[in-house]
Structure 1
Amino acid sequence: MPDQSPSSRRFRADSCFVTGGALLALLVVGGLFWAKYNMSTVKEWRGGNAWNLTYEAAAVSGDPRAAAVRYRHNPDSFRKDFRDERLGAIRLPWHTEANVNTGAVARMEVAPAGEGQVSCRILLDGVRVVAEGRSPAPGEPAVCEVTTSSTPEKWPTKPS
């Protein structure tokens, strides 16, 4: 007959508790590693992935106004539809934030007023310049365009 003393039962209970705790810790750590390496996949499954971009326009020379500004954005990150916004004459410098879906084209065109020259930039999260352009000659528009990364949260670094 097995030993049923209180110390024997306590030892078995402690062993089960330690083993259960170790298994729980392994599950938690394993789950964290899985989430770290598969978050992009999870985000692709759920849909609704978009990049937060800042469009900027500035005068380089001449009149500090733009005759027109056009930029592209996605009003709904769960749909592939995009919208091209067109603004009339505006004072420079100018900027706005917009969401552009993963794998979509972010585009901006700034037409200078008169014979001025303008520049444009597209920034990722308001910090990193991902596209820039400048009027090639007086009176000609500046164009900025970039295709956003198709992988959520992983924008490639610029080539050296």
Structure 2
Amino acid sequence: MTSPNQSSRRFRGDIFFVIVFATVAALILGGMLWAKNNATEIKKWRGGNAWYLTYEAASVRGEAQAATVSYQYNPDSFKPDYKNERLAQTKLPWNTEVVVNTGKEARVAVTPTGDGLASCRILLDGIRVVASAKSPGPGKPAVCNVVTSSTPESWPR
């Protein structure tokens, strides 16, 4: 048989462990909820938020032809610097993968040679088309541009 003193000590020990367990569980749950609600801010603090895009250019008239292709991208996702590339006499179809920082403009322009017609597309992660355009007339440039989502984890529909 246990004495009243031992029973009281055991009861206090049980209460102590329940309180410690509840406190640890509340801290873990609170930390998870805070991280979920502040994921965007955490990503902004660490820097380097960018979108991986694919620029594509093609001939609308069916024959592969040459075109001047110009596009812009961020060479380093941790810096705001833009780089502009211009490729003369590029054989179509053409594509390249680039990185564009969040909240910045993604742009590609395709100017076909002669009286050709061209088209361009910008794809998110190589799958989802976020911009497309065709030449308005022979020898005129097809220009695709879109401002990337400023939220690192979601691109609006």
RMSD, aligned α-carbons: 1.9
The sequence identity of aligned pairs, in percent, is 59
CA contact (8 A) 1:102 1:152 kept: yes
Cα separation, 1, equivalents of 2:65 and 2:10: 82
Partner of 1:76: 76
Paired residues of 2:102 and 2:150 also in contact (CA < 8 A): yes
Determine the C-alpha separation between the residues in 2 that align with 1:66 and 1:130: 25
- Separation in structure 1 between the aligned mates of residue 93 and residue 23 of structure 2, nearest angstrom: 59
- 1:117 alignment counterpart: 117
In the TM superposition, 1:86-97 aligns within 5 A as 86-97=86-97
Amino acid at match of 2:5: Q
Cα distance change, pair 145–11 in 1 and its aligned pair in 2 (3 A): same
Contact 2:131 2:146 in 1 (8 A): yes
Residue equivalent to 1:21? 21
Q: Which residue of 1 aligns with 2:5?
A: 4
Q: CA-to-partner distance for each residue in 1:45-78, whole Å, 9 max, x for gaps?
A: 2222111111111111054123221111001112
Q: How does 1:41-52 map to 2 (within 5 A)?
A: 41-52=41-52
Taking the TM superposition and a 5 Å limit, the aligned residue runs for 1:135-154 are 135-154=135-154
CA distance in 2, matches of 1:55, 1:138: 21
| Structure 2: runs of 5+ lacking an equivalent | none
**Which AA in structure 1 matches 2:73?**
H
Aligned twin of 2:156:
156
Unaligned 5+ residue runs, structure 1?
Answer: none
Contact 2:67 2:91 in 1 (8 A): no
- CA distance in structure 2 between the aligned counterparts of 1:124 and 1:67, rounded to whole angstroms: 23
Deviation at 1:3, TM superposition (A): 4.4
1:129 aligns with 129
Q: 1:95-110 alignment to 2 at 5 Å?
A: 95-110=95-110
SS in 2 for 1:96: strand
* Residues 94-129 of structure 1: per-residue CA shift (max 9 Å, x gap): 221111011111100112132221111111122221
Count of matched residue pairs: 155
Q: TM-score, normalised by structure 2?
A: 0.88
